[in-house]
Amino acid sequence: MFSIISLAVPGVVLGIGYIFIWNQKWLEPLGLHLYGTPSLLVIAGIAGAIPYAVRVQLGAFGNLSGTMLKAAAIQGATIFERMRDIVLPLVRQSLLIAILASFGTSVFDLALASMLRPANYSLMPLVIDRAFEFSRYGYATAATVVSCGIVVVIIIVMQASGRLWFRWLDRNRSR
């Protein structure tokens, strides 16, 4: 239930919240003063993508049978072995899809990019927005198409490498 709260809160409000939280004086001695750094933008992107990842994973984990895990426990499998040998093979495809969907949704988050933009960084959502603002529609459209193309290529490469990695794991486990 708590995983979908960030869907109800506008991105600007979340951005202001991140600024208030991560711009505290007492975080400086701890090395956690993240405001104005790319790290905060990555953290905010991950936090904003959690609802999508959770929704994708709920279906996969809902299909897991508790009897398989109990049977493995009765046979003496540790919790790590049960997760590695039963749960991960059954949910790995949805885990990969959740990661890719989260990446795809967080790349073009204009609200967080405008609120948390680090100094001397040019973020694509802001470049596209500024181009539209100054009526440079051709440039903005081209930047959008190229950016979307790059994101799609990254997703395809990640999905293909994930599938190859899963096949490699299956072959090595069966030996």
Kindly write down the DSSP assignment for every residue of 126-160, as one continuous string. Answer: HHHHHHHHTT-HHHHHHHHHHHHHHHHHHHHHHHH
In this prediction, residue 1 carries a pLDDT of 58
CA 62 to centroid of chain Cα atoms: 21
Q: Which domains does the chain have, with CATH numbers?
A: 2-173 (1.10.3720.10)
Number of H helices, E strands in the chain: 9, 0
Looking at residue 3, its pLDDT comes to: 65
8 A C-beta contact, residue 23 and residue 57: no
Q: What is the pLDDT of residue 40?
A: 87
Mean pLDDT of 73-88: 88
User: What pTM did the predictor assign?
Assistant: 0.72
